[in-house]
Amino acid sequence: MPKFGYSITGLGSERTVKASGREIRISPKHAREVCNTINGMRLEKAKRFLSQVIVLKQPVPFRRFIKKLGHRHGMEQAMVGKYPVKAATEILKVVRNAESNAEFKGLDIERLRIIHASAYPGIKLKRAIPRAFGRSSPKNKSLTHVEIVLEEIEEKTEELT
């Protein structure tokens, strides 16, 4: 059993499923923006959005790390954004893993919604770049943890009275 926990607590176990990707080699900043964008989306819409990001058709709106960041065509909420292909690819794998967990648990795939999507930095890989005159400079690479939680929602039925 893994020793890590999830950053979300107090979930109903019969209607929710969790999946996580640990120590993924993606940028924590890009992963944070992608997770904030897909949080609250339905499962099919989130998978379609991530697929569009991978083929450079739909940009991800950036809200926090926006200095010297260019505008992108087709932005709905924010004016600036990027196409974080590597982060979208890895997060799509975690979303598909959560979908498989839901299918195994017997939940209806059509009624799943992402209620929690988070990304935060993991360990740092410490390396060195050789420089002139026998010196070296540090080269640190941050790994990223990604968590996805899906919940089965009830369909609203209209009453005819």
Q: Which pLDDT belongs to residue 79? A: 79
For domain 16-152, the CATH class is: alpha beta
Q: How confident is the model at residue 73 (pLDDT cuts 50, 70, 90)?
A: confident
Distances (CA, A) of 29 to 75, 123, 146, 149, 159: 19, 14, 12, 20, 45
CA 126/CA 151 separation, integer angstroms: 38
Judged against a pLDDT cut of 70, whether residue 18 lies above it is answered with: yes
Residue 114's DSSP bridge partners are: 150
pLDDT tens string 22-41: 999 999 999 999 999 999 99
Q: Which pLDDT belongs to residue 160? A: 59
pLDDT tens string 112-141: 999 999 999 999 999 999 999 999 999 999
Residue type, position 53, single letter: V
Q: Spell out the residues 6+ positions from residue 58 whose beta carbon is closer than 8 angstroms to its own.
A: 49, 52, 74
Task: With beta carbons less than 8 A apart as the criterion, state whether 62 and 69 touch.
Answer: yes
pLDDT tens string 50-72: 999 999 999 999 988 788 888 88
Burial of 132 (0-12, 13-18, 19+ CB in 10 A): exposed
Eight-state DSSP code of residue 39: T
Judged against a pLDDT cut of 70, whether residue 21 lies above it is answered with: yes
CA 120/CA 139 separation, integer angstroms: 20
pTM attached to this predicted model: 0.88
Instruction: Provide the residue ranges of all domains of the chain, joining segments of one domain with +.
Output: 16-152
